[in-house]
Protein backbone atom coordinates (compact mmCIF):
# COMPACT_ATOMS: atom_id res chain seq x y z
CA UNK A 1 0.00 0.00 0.00
CA UNK A 2 1.65 3.24 -1.19
CA UNK A 3 0.51 6.51 0.35
CA UNK A 4 1.46 9.84 -1.21
CA UNK A 5 0.65 13.37 -0.11
CA UNK A 6 -0.01 16.61 -1.97
CA UNK A 7 0.49 20.04 -0.40
CA UNK A 8 -1.23 23.03 -2.02
CA UNK A 9 -0.02 26.36 -0.65
CA UNK A 10 -2.50 28.87 -2.00
CA UNK A 11 -3.22 32.53 -1.37
CA UNK A 12 -6.06 31.97 1.09
CA UNK A 13 -5.17 28.61 2.62
CA UNK A 14 -2.83 25.65 2.72
CA UNK A 15 -4.24 22.19 2.03
CA UNK A 16 -2.79 18.73 2.54
CA UNK A 17 -4.23 15.60 0.93
CA UNK A 18 -3.11 11.98 1.51
CA UNK A 19 -3.88 9.49 -1.27
CA UNK A 20 -3.76 5.69 -1.30
CA UNK A 21 -2.59 4.76 -4.79
CA UNK A 22 -3.75 1.14 -4.47
CA UNK A 23 -7.31 1.67 -3.24
CA UNK A 24 -7.52 5.04 -5.08
CA UNK A 25 -8.98 6.74 -2.06
CA UNK A 26 -8.13 9.89 -0.15
CA UNK A 27 -7.33 8.76 3.38
CA UNK A 28 -6.90 12.17 4.94
CA UNK A 29 -7.20 15.86 4.15
CA UNK A 30 -6.83 19.09 6.06
CA UNK A 31 -6.89 22.82 5.40
CA UNK A 32 -5.62 25.87 7.30
CA UNK A 33 -6.28 29.52 6.37
CA UNK A 34 -3.41 31.93 5.71
CA UNK A 35 -3.50 35.68 6.32
CA UNK A 36 -2.93 38.20 3.54
CA UNK A 37 -1.47 41.71 3.81
CA UNK A 38 -3.35 44.06 1.47
CA UNK A 39 -2.75 47.75 0.80
CA UNK A 40 -4.46 50.23 -1.50
CA UNK A 41 -1.34 50.65 -3.65
CA UNK A 42 -1.80 47.08 -4.91
CA UNK A 43 0.50 45.43 -2.37
CA UNK A 44 -0.35 41.80 -1.61
CA UNK A 45 2.14 40.05 0.66
CA UNK A 46 2.54 37.12 3.04
CA UNK A 47 5.24 35.84 5.36
CA UNK A 48 6.87 32.57 4.31
CA UNK A 49 6.66 31.24 7.86
CA UNK A 50 2.87 31.48 7.66
CA UNK A 51 2.95 28.77 4.99
CA UNK A 52 5.22 26.41 6.93
CA UNK A 53 3.18 26.90 10.10
CA UNK A 54 -0.01 26.13 8.13
CA UNK A 55 1.54 22.97 6.64
CA UNK A 56 2.51 21.78 10.12
CA UNK A 57 -1.01 22.47 11.37
CA UNK A 58 -2.52 20.57 8.45
CA UNK A 59 -0.38 17.49 9.07
CA UNK A 60 -1.22 17.64 12.78
CA UNK A 61 -4.89 17.17 11.83
CA UNK A 62 -4.16 13.91 9.96
CA UNK A 63 -4.05 10.56 11.76
CA UNK A 64 -0.45 9.93 12.91
CA UNK A 65 -0.63 6.31 11.67
CA UNK A 66 -1.49 7.57 8.18
CA UNK A 67 1.29 10.15 8.27
CA UNK A 68 3.93 7.53 9.07
CA UNK A 69 2.94 5.49 5.99
CA UNK A 70 3.42 8.34 3.49
CA UNK A 71 6.29 7.56 1.13
CA UNK A 72 6.30 10.60 -1.20
CA UNK A 73 4.89 14.09 -1.32
CA UNK A 74 4.68 16.94 -3.80
CA UNK A 75 4.14 20.66 -3.38
CA UNK A 76 1.82 22.86 -5.40
CA UNK A 77 2.31 26.56 -4.81
CA UNK A 78 0.79 29.86 -5.82
CA UNK A 79 2.85 31.08 -8.76
CA UNK A 80 5.02 34.18 -9.27
CA UNK A 81 5.77 35.07 -5.62
CA UNK A 82 9.29 36.23 -4.75
CA UNK A 83 10.99 34.62 -1.75
CA UNK A 84 14.46 36.14 -1.18
CA UNK A 85 16.66 33.83 0.89
CA UNK A 86 20.08 34.62 2.36
CA UNK A 87 23.13 32.36 2.56
CA UNK A 88 21.90 30.82 5.83
CA UNK A 89 18.49 29.96 4.35
CA UNK A 90 16.63 32.78 6.10
CA UNK A 91 13.88 34.66 4.25
CA UNK A 92 14.91 38.31 4.35
CA UNK A 93 11.69 40.11 3.31
CA UNK A 94 7.94 39.63 3.11
CA UNK A 95 6.86 37.63 0.07
CA UNK A 96 5.30 39.70 -2.71
CA UNK A 97 2.58 37.54 -4.28
CA UNK A 98 1.14 36.85 -7.72
CA UNK A 99 -1.75 39.26 -7.07
CA UNK A 100 0.55 42.14 -6.10
CA UNK A 101 0.11 44.95 -8.65
CA UNK A 102 2.29 47.55 -6.92
CA UNK A 103 5.20 46.86 -9.28
CA UNK A 104 3.74 47.98 -12.60
CA UNK A 105 6.37 50.70 -12.98
CA UNK A 106 9.07 48.05 -12.68
CA UNK A 107 7.35 45.93 -15.35
CA UNK A 108 7.47 48.87 -17.73
CA UNK A 109 11.12 49.61 -16.89
CA UNK A 110 12.25 46.02 -17.45
CA UNK A 111 10.50 45.79 -20.80
CA UNK A 112 11.87 49.16 -21.86
CA UNK A 113 15.41 48.04 -20.99
CA UNK A 114 15.04 44.96 -23.17
CA UNK A 115 13.46 46.87 -26.06
CA UNK A 116 9.75 46.63 -25.39
CA UNK A 117 7.15 43.85 -25.02
CA UNK A 118 7.93 42.32 -28.42
CA UNK A 119 11.61 42.01 -27.49
CA UNK A 120 10.64 40.32 -24.21
CA UNK A 121 8.51 37.80 -26.10
CA UNK A 122 11.37 37.18 -28.52
CA UNK A 123 13.78 36.61 -25.63
CA UNK A 124 11.64 34.43 -23.37
CA UNK A 125 8.19 33.89 -24.88
CA UNK A 126 6.33 36.25 -22.53
CA UNK A 127 6.20 39.96 -21.73
CA UNK A 128 6.74 41.13 -18.15
CA UNK A 129 3.24 41.52 -16.72
CA UNK A 130 2.06 42.72 -13.34
CA UNK A 131 2.16 39.71 -11.09
CA UNK A 132 5.17 38.00 -12.72
CA UNK A 133 8.19 37.55 -10.47
CA UNK A 134 10.63 39.72 -12.45
CA UNK A 135 9.17 43.07 -11.43
CA UNK A 136 9.14 42.02 -7.76
CA UNK A 137 12.92 41.65 -7.87
CA UNK A 138 13.35 45.11 -9.38
CA UNK A 139 10.95 46.58 -6.81
CA UNK A 140 12.85 44.93 -3.94
CA UNK A 141 16.16 46.24 -5.26
CA UNK A 142 14.79 49.79 -5.01
CA UNK A 143 12.52 49.65 -1.97
CA UNK A 144 14.20 47.02 0.22
CA UNK A 145 17.90 47.46 -0.55
CA UNK A 146 19.05 45.68 2.62
CA UNK A 147 17.06 42.57 1.68
CA UNK A 148 18.39 42.80 -1.89
CA UNK A 149 21.98 42.86 -0.70
CA UNK A 150 21.40 39.98 1.71
CA UNK A 151 19.67 37.78 -0.85
CA UNK A 152 21.69 34.84 -2.13
CA UNK A 153 18.93 32.67 -3.61
CA UNK A 154 15.78 33.52 -5.57
CA UNK A 155 12.95 31.11 -4.82
CA UNK A 156 9.28 30.91 -5.78
CA UNK A 157 6.74 29.96 -3.08
CA UNK A 158 6.71 26.23 -3.91
CA UNK A 159 10.51 26.25 -4.32
CA UNK A 160 10.83 27.67 -0.81
CA UNK A 161 8.59 24.96 0.62
CA UNK A 162 10.69 22.33 -1.15
CA UNK A 163 13.76 23.95 0.45
CA UNK A 164 12.07 23.84 3.86
CA UNK A 165 11.20 20.18 3.35
CA UNK A 166 14.51 18.97 1.92
CA UNK A 167 17.19 21.51 2.80
CA UNK A 168 18.02 21.74 -0.92
CA UNK A 169 17.49 24.67 -3.28
CA UNK A 170 16.09 23.79 -6.72
CA UNK A 171 13.46 24.83 -9.28
CA UNK A 172 11.54 23.23 -12.16
CA UNK A 173 10.54 24.66 -15.51
CA UNK A 174 6.76 24.87 -15.06
CA UNK A 175 6.67 27.26 -12.13
CA UNK A 176 9.85 28.99 -13.31
CA UNK A 177 8.00 29.92 -16.53
CA UNK A 178 6.09 32.48 -14.48
CA UNK A 179 9.17 34.41 -13.43
CA UNK A 180 9.39 36.20 -16.78
CA UNK A 181 13.08 35.39 -17.27
CA UNK A 182 12.88 31.72 -18.33
CA UNK A 183 12.99 31.19 -22.10
CA UNK A 184 10.10 28.76 -22.36
CA UNK A 185 11.23 27.51 -25.75
CA UNK A 186 14.58 26.21 -24.48
CA UNK A 187 13.91 25.98 -20.72
CA UNK A 188 16.97 28.15 -20.09
CA UNK A 189 17.40 31.49 -18.31
CA UNK A 190 17.29 34.62 -20.46
CA UNK A 191 20.43 36.72 -19.81
CA UNK A 192 18.81 39.78 -21.41
CA UNK A 193 15.89 39.79 -19.00
CA UNK A 194 18.02 39.07 -15.94
CA UNK A 195 20.31 41.96 -16.85
CA UNK A 196 17.29 44.23 -17.27
CA UNK A 197 16.27 43.52 -13.66
CA UNK A 198 19.71 44.45 -12.26
CA UNK A 199 22.50 45.31 -14.70
CA UNK A 200 25.05 45.42 -11.86
CA UNK A 201 24.47 41.92 -10.47
CA UNK A 202 24.78 38.48 -12.02
CA UNK A 203 21.42 37.06 -10.98
CA UNK A 204 22.19 33.65 -12.49
CA UNK A 205 24.33 33.07 -9.41
CA UNK A 206 21.17 33.38 -7.29
CA UNK A 207 19.13 30.92 -9.34
CA UNK A 208 19.09 27.28 -8.18
CA UNK A 209 19.34 24.43 -10.69
CA UNK A 210 16.34 23.32 -12.75
CA UNK A 211 15.46 19.67 -12.07
CA UNK A 212 13.53 17.36 -14.39
CA UNK A 213 9.81 16.93 -13.76
CA UNK A 214 10.20 13.31 -12.61
CA UNK A 215 13.01 14.04 -10.13
CA UNK A 216 12.68 13.66 -6.37
CA UNK A 217 14.78 14.56 -3.34
CA UNK A 218 14.86 12.98 0.16
CA UNK A 219 13.09 14.86 2.92
CA UNK A 220 15.39 16.19 5.61
CA UNK A 221 15.10 14.29 8.88
CA UNK A 222 14.31 17.30 11.09
CA UNK A 223 11.33 18.38 8.98
CA UNK A 224 10.06 14.80 8.67
CA UNK A 225 10.12 14.36 12.41
CA UNK A 226 8.42 17.71 13.02
CA UNK A 227 5.58 16.72 10.66
CA UNK A 228 5.27 13.16 11.91
CA UNK A 229 6.51 11.71 8.61
CA UNK A 230 8.93 8.93 7.83
CA UNK A 231 12.47 9.98 7.02
CA UNK A 232 12.15 7.75 3.93
CA UNK A 233 9.75 10.22 2.24
CA UNK A 234 10.80 11.52 -1.18
CA UNK A 235 9.81 15.04 -2.22
CA UNK A 236 9.03 15.51 -5.92
CA UNK A 237 9.90 18.75 -7.72
CA UNK A 238 6.26 19.90 -7.52
CA UNK A 239 5.22 22.96 -9.47
CA UNK A 240 2.94 25.95 -9.69
CA UNK A 241 -0.68 25.48 -8.71
CA UNK A 242 -1.84 25.60 -12.31
CA UNK A 243 0.72 23.02 -13.44
CA UNK A 244 -0.30 20.71 -10.60
CA UNK A 245 -4.00 21.29 -11.31
CA UNK A 246 -3.36 20.21 -14.90
CA UNK A 247 -2.08 16.89 -13.60
CA UNK A 248 -4.83 16.59 -11.00
CA UNK A 249 -7.62 17.17 -13.52
CA UNK A 250 -6.23 14.86 -16.19
CA UNK A 251 -5.18 17.65 -18.52
CA UNK A 252 -1.98 16.05 -19.84
CA UNK A 253 -3.09 15.38 -23.43
CA UNK A 254 -4.45 17.74 -26.13
CA UNK A 255 -8.16 18.53 -26.40
CA UNK A 256 -8.88 19.09 -22.73
CA UNK A 257 -9.26 22.56 -21.23
CA UNK A 258 -9.07 23.07 -17.48
CA UNK A 259 -10.82 25.98 -15.78
CA UNK A 260 -9.69 26.58 -12.22
CA UNK A 261 -12.16 28.63 -10.18
CA UNK A 262 -10.08 29.81 -7.24
CA UNK A 263 -8.90 33.18 -5.94
CA UNK A 264 -7.58 33.67 -9.44
CA UNK A 265 -9.31 32.16 -12.43
CA UNK A 266 -7.27 30.18 -14.90
CA UNK A 267 -7.71 28.37 -18.19
CA UNK A 268 -4.98 26.07 -19.42
CA UNK A 269 -4.37 23.33 -21.94
CA UNK A 270 -1.70 20.79 -22.83
CA UNK A 271 0.48 21.27 -25.91
CA UNK A 272 3.34 19.26 -27.35
CA UNK A 273 5.22 22.40 -28.40
CA UNK A 274 5.53 26.00 -27.18
CA UNK A 275 2.38 28.04 -27.86
CA UNK A 276 3.55 31.64 -27.96
CA UNK A 277 1.47 34.67 -28.96
CA UNK A 278 3.07 37.82 -30.34
CA UNK A 279 0.26 39.80 -28.72
CA UNK A 280 0.74 38.02 -25.35
CA UNK A 281 -2.92 37.15 -24.97
CA UNK A 282 -1.95 34.16 -22.85
CA UNK A 283 1.01 33.01 -20.78
CA UNK A 284 3.29 30.72 -22.76
CA UNK A 285 4.30 28.46 -19.89
CA UNK A 286 6.03 25.10 -19.69
CA UNK A 287 4.21 22.22 -18.02
CA UNK A 288 5.60 20.59 -14.88
CA UNK A 289 6.01 17.48 -17.02
CA UNK A 290 6.72 16.96 -20.70
CA UNK A 291 5.13 19.61 -22.90
CA UNK A 292 3.80 23.12 -22.50
CA UNK A 293 0.88 24.76 -20.75
CA UNK A 294 -0.60 27.80 -22.55
CA UNK A 295 -2.47 29.57 -19.78
CA UNK A 296 -4.96 32.37 -19.31
CA UNK A 297 -5.06 33.95 -15.85
CA UNK A 298 -7.56 36.37 -14.39
CA UNK A 299 -6.77 37.94 -11.04
CA UNK A 300 -10.38 38.11 -9.83
CA UNK A 301 -12.40 34.92 -9.74
CA UNK A 302 -13.67 33.85 -6.33
CA UNK A 303 -12.27 37.24 -5.27
CA UNK A 304 -15.39 38.65 -6.96
CA UNK A 305 -17.90 36.30 -5.36
CA UNK A 306 -16.25 36.51 -1.94
CA UNK A 307 -16.12 40.31 -2.09
CA UNK A 308 -19.83 40.54 -2.82
CA UNK A 309 -20.48 37.88 -0.17
CA UNK A 310 -18.64 39.95 2.46
CA UNK A 311 -20.55 43.07 1.45
CA UNK A 312 -23.87 41.26 1.88
CA UNK A 313 -22.89 39.11 4.86
CA UNK A 314 -23.50 35.89 2.90
CA UNK A 315 -21.48 32.68 3.09
CA UNK A 316 -21.02 30.33 0.14
CA UNK A 317 -24.13 28.26 0.86
CA UNK A 318 -26.31 31.34 1.23
CA UNK A 319 -25.04 32.77 -2.04
CA UNK A 320 -25.72 29.52 -3.87
CA UNK A 321 -29.28 29.45 -2.53
CA UNK A 322 -29.92 32.99 -3.72
CA UNK A 323 -28.70 32.19 -7.22
CA UNK A 324 -31.49 29.66 -7.70
CA UNK A 325 -33.96 32.55 -7.94
CA UNK A 326 -32.12 34.42 -10.71
CA UNK A 327 -31.75 33.87 -14.44
CA UNK A 328 -28.67 34.15 -16.68
CA UNK A 329 -27.85 37.78 -17.31
CA UNK A 330 -28.76 38.96 -13.78
CA UNK A 331 -31.63 41.03 -15.21
CA UNK A 332 -29.15 43.40 -16.88
CA UNK A 333 -26.80 43.88 -13.89
CA UNK A 334 -23.19 43.52 -15.02
CA UNK A 335 -20.01 43.53 -12.91
CA UNK A 336 -16.51 44.05 -14.27
CA UNK A 337 -14.81 42.33 -11.31
CA UNK A 338 -11.35 43.92 -11.40
CA UNK A 339 -11.00 44.38 -7.64
CA UNK A 340 -7.31 43.42 -7.65
CA UNK A 341 -6.50 45.03 -10.98
CA UNK A 342 -6.55 42.54 -13.84
CA UNK A 343 -4.28 40.51 -16.09
CA UNK A 344 -6.92 39.20 -18.54
CA UNK A 345 -7.89 41.67 -19.85
CA UNK A 346 -4.56 43.43 -19.17
CA UNK A 347 -5.67 46.23 -16.81
CA UNK A 348 -3.30 46.15 -13.82
CA UNK A 349 -4.68 49.47 -12.60
CA UNK A 350 -8.30 48.44 -13.20
CA UNK A 351 -10.98 48.52 -10.53
CA UNK A 352 -14.35 46.84 -10.14
CA UNK A 353 -17.22 48.50 -11.96
CA UNK A 354 -20.95 47.78 -11.61
CA UNK A 355 -23.20 48.63 -14.56
CA UNK A 356 -26.86 48.45 -15.51
CA UNK A 357 -28.28 49.11 -12.04
CA UNK A 358 -32.05 49.48 -11.75
CA UNK A 359 -34.43 49.40 -8.79
CA UNK A 360 -35.50 45.88 -9.72
CA UNK A 361 -32.06 44.28 -10.19
CA UNK A 362 -30.29 45.85 -7.21
CA UNK A 363 -30.92 42.81 -5.04
CA UNK A 364 -28.49 40.52 -3.20
CA UNK A 365 -29.32 37.65 -5.57
CA UNK A 366 -28.57 39.69 -8.69
CA UNK A 367 -25.35 41.06 -7.19
CA UNK A 368 -24.15 37.54 -6.44
CA UNK A 369 -24.98 36.36 -9.96
CA UNK A 370 -23.35 39.42 -11.54
CA UNK A 371 -20.13 38.68 -9.63
CA UNK A 372 -20.06 35.07 -10.82
CA UNK A 373 -20.94 36.02 -14.38
CA UNK A 374 -18.33 38.78 -14.49
CA UNK A 375 -15.59 36.41 -13.36
CA UNK A 376 -16.66 33.86 -15.97
CA UNK A 377 -16.84 36.45 -18.76
CA UNK A 378 -13.22 37.39 -18.07
CA UNK A 379 -12.26 33.74 -18.50
CA UNK A 380 -14.33 33.50 -21.67
CA UNK A 381 -12.28 36.35 -23.17
CA UNK A 382 -9.16 34.26 -22.62
CA UNK A 383 -10.81 31.19 -24.11
CA UNK A 384 -11.54 33.16 -27.27
CA UNK A 385 -7.82 33.92 -27.63
CA UNK A 386 -6.84 30.25 -27.36
CA UNK A 387 -9.42 29.22 -29.94
CA UNK A 388 -8.30 31.97 -32.31
CA UNK A 389 -4.77 30.54 -32.02
CA UNK A 390 -6.01 27.25 -33.42
CA UNK A 391 -6.34 25.20 -30.25
CA UNK A 392 -9.38 22.93 -30.22
CA UNK A 393 -11.20 21.54 -27.19
CA UNK A 394 -13.83 18.89 -26.63
CA UNK A 395 -14.05 18.93 -22.82
CA UNK A 396 -13.98 21.57 -20.08
CA UNK A 397 -12.57 20.28 -16.77
CA UNK A 398 -13.46 22.29 -13.65
CA UNK A 399 -11.47 22.46 -10.45
CA UNK A 400 -11.05 24.79 -7.49
CA UNK A 401 -13.57 25.95 -4.93
CA UNK A 402 -15.97 27.34 -7.51
CA UNK A 403 -16.38 23.93 -9.13
CA UNK A 404 -18.51 22.87 -6.14
CA UNK A 405 -21.26 25.23 -7.31
CA UNK A 406 -23.82 23.53 -9.56
CA UNK A 407 -24.86 26.92 -10.92
CA UNK A 408 -21.27 27.88 -11.73
CA UNK A 409 -20.73 24.55 -13.49
CA UNK A 410 -23.76 25.14 -15.70
CA UNK A 411 -22.70 28.73 -16.30
CA UNK A 412 -19.27 27.55 -17.48
CA UNK A 413 -20.82 24.99 -19.83
CA UNK A 414 -23.14 27.60 -21.34
CA UNK A 415 -20.59 30.43 -21.46
CA UNK A 416 -17.85 28.38 -23.18
CA UNK A 417 -20.29 26.09 -25.01
CA UNK A 418 -18.44 22.95 -23.92
CA UNK A 419 -19.46 19.88 -21.89
CA UNK A 420 -18.20 20.15 -18.32
CA UNK A 421 -16.64 17.33 -16.32
CA UNK A 422 -15.58 17.63 -12.69
CA UNK A 423 -12.91 15.41 -11.16
CA UNK A 424 -13.91 13.64 -7.96
CA UNK A 425 -11.03 15.42 -6.26
CA UNK A 426 -12.21 19.03 -6.32
CA UNK A 427 -8.83 20.34 -5.15
CA UNK A 428 -6.99 19.50 -8.34
CA UNK A 429 -3.72 21.20 -7.39
CA UNK A 430 -3.17 19.18 -4.20
CA UNK A 431 -4.20 15.96 -5.95
CA UNK A 432 -1.96 16.74 -8.91
CA UNK A 433 0.97 17.28 -6.55
CA UNK A 434 0.27 13.88 -4.98
CA UNK A 435 0.12 12.20 -8.40
CA UNK A 436 3.37 13.83 -9.50
CA UNK A 437 4.95 12.56 -6.27
CA UNK A 438 3.69 9.06 -7.05
CA UNK A 439 5.12 9.26 -10.58
CA UNK A 440 8.49 10.46 -9.30
CA UNK A 441 8.53 7.70 -6.67
CA UNK A 442 7.85 5.09 -9.33
CA UNK A 443 10.53 6.57 -11.59
CA UNK A 444 13.01 6.51 -8.72
CA UNK A 445 12.19 2.82 -8.35
CA UNK A 446 12.89 2.11 -12.02
CA UNK A 447 9.35 2.25 -13.47
CA UNK A 448 9.44 3.91 -16.92
CA UNK A 449 5.67 4.53 -17.11
CA UNK A 450 4.44 7.86 -18.47
CA UNK A 451 2.72 10.52 -16.43
CA UNK A 452 -0.21 10.47 -18.88
CA UNK A 453 -0.82 6.77 -18.22
CA UNK A 454 -0.62 7.29 -14.47
CA UNK A 455 -3.00 10.25 -14.58
CA UNK A 456 -5.58 8.39 -16.66
CA UNK A 457 -5.43 5.53 -14.17
CA UNK A 458 -6.05 7.70 -11.12
CA UNK A 459 -8.14 10.76 -12.06
CA UNK A 460 -11.81 9.90 -11.58
CA UNK A 461 -14.81 12.02 -12.53
CA UNK A 462 -18.06 12.80 -10.74
CA UNK A 463 -20.79 11.97 -13.24
CA UNK A 464 -23.41 13.67 -11.08
CA UNK A 465 -21.55 16.98 -11.41
CA UNK A 466 -21.32 16.94 -15.22
CA UNK A 467 -23.04 19.71 -17.17
CA UNK A 468 -23.96 20.10 -20.82
CA UNK A 469 -24.57 23.41 -22.63
CA UNK A 470 -28.26 24.31 -22.94
CA UNK A 471 -29.76 26.28 -25.82
CA UNK A 472 -31.34 28.84 -23.50
CA UNK A 473 -28.17 29.29 -21.46
CA UNK A 474 -25.94 29.59 -24.52
CA UNK A 475 -28.21 32.27 -26.04
CA UNK A 476 -28.41 34.22 -22.78
CA UNK A 477 -24.68 34.22 -22.21
CA UNK A 478 -23.85 35.17 -25.78
CA UNK A 479 -25.90 38.31 -25.11
CA UNK A 480 -24.31 38.87 -21.69
CA UNK A 481 -20.80 38.34 -23.02
CA UNK A 482 -21.34 40.91 -25.79
CA UNK A 483 -22.51 43.38 -23.15
CA UNK A 484 -19.43 42.58 -21.05
CA UNK A 485 -17.24 43.43 -24.06
CA UNK A 486 -19.00 46.73 -24.71
CA UNK A 487 -18.64 47.87 -21.11
CA UNK A 488 -15.03 46.72 -21.01
CA UNK A 489 -14.22 48.76 -24.13
CA UNK A 490 -15.86 51.78 -22.53
CA UNK A 491 -14.02 51.69 -19.20
CA UNK A 492 -10.60 50.38 -20.30
CA UNK A 493 -9.26 53.84 -21.29
CA UNK A 494 -9.90 55.05 -17.73
CA UNK A 495 -7.29 52.62 -16.40
CA UNK A 496 -4.62 52.87 -19.09
CA UNK A 497 -1.93 55.46 -19.46
Residues classed as catalytic: 241
User: Residue 452's CB: how many other CB atoms inside 10 A?
Assistant: 16
Radius of gyration of the chain (CA): 22
Q: What is the DSSP letter of 288?
A: S
CA gap 45, 98 in Å, rounded: 9
DSSP assignment string, 332-399: G-EEE--BTBBTTTTBTT---EEE---TTT-SHHHHHHHHHHHHHHHHHHHHHHHHHTT---SEEEEE
Compute φ and ψ for 18, nearest 5 degrees. Answer: -115, 125
Beta bridge partners of 335: 354
DSSP assignment string, 429-469: HHHHHHHHHHHHHHHHTT----HHHHHHHH--B-GGG-B--
CA gap 175, 429 in Å, rounded: 13
Query: Measuring CA to CA, how many Å separate 211 from each of 174, 301, 384?
Result: 11, 32, 34
Amino acid sequence: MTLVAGIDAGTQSVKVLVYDSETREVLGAASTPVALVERDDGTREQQAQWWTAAIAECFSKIDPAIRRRIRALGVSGQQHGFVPVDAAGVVVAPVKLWCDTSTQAECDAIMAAVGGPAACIAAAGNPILAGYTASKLAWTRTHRPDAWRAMRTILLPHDYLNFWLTGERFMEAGDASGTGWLDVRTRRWSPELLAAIDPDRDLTASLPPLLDADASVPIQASTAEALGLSTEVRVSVGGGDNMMAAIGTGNVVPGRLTMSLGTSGTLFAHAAQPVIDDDARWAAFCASADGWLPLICTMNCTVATETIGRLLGLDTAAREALLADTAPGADGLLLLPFFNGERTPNLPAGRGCLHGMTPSNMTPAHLVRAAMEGATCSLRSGYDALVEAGLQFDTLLLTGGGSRSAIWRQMAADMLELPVRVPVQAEGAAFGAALQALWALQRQGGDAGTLADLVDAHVQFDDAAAALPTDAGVDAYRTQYRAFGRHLDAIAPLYRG
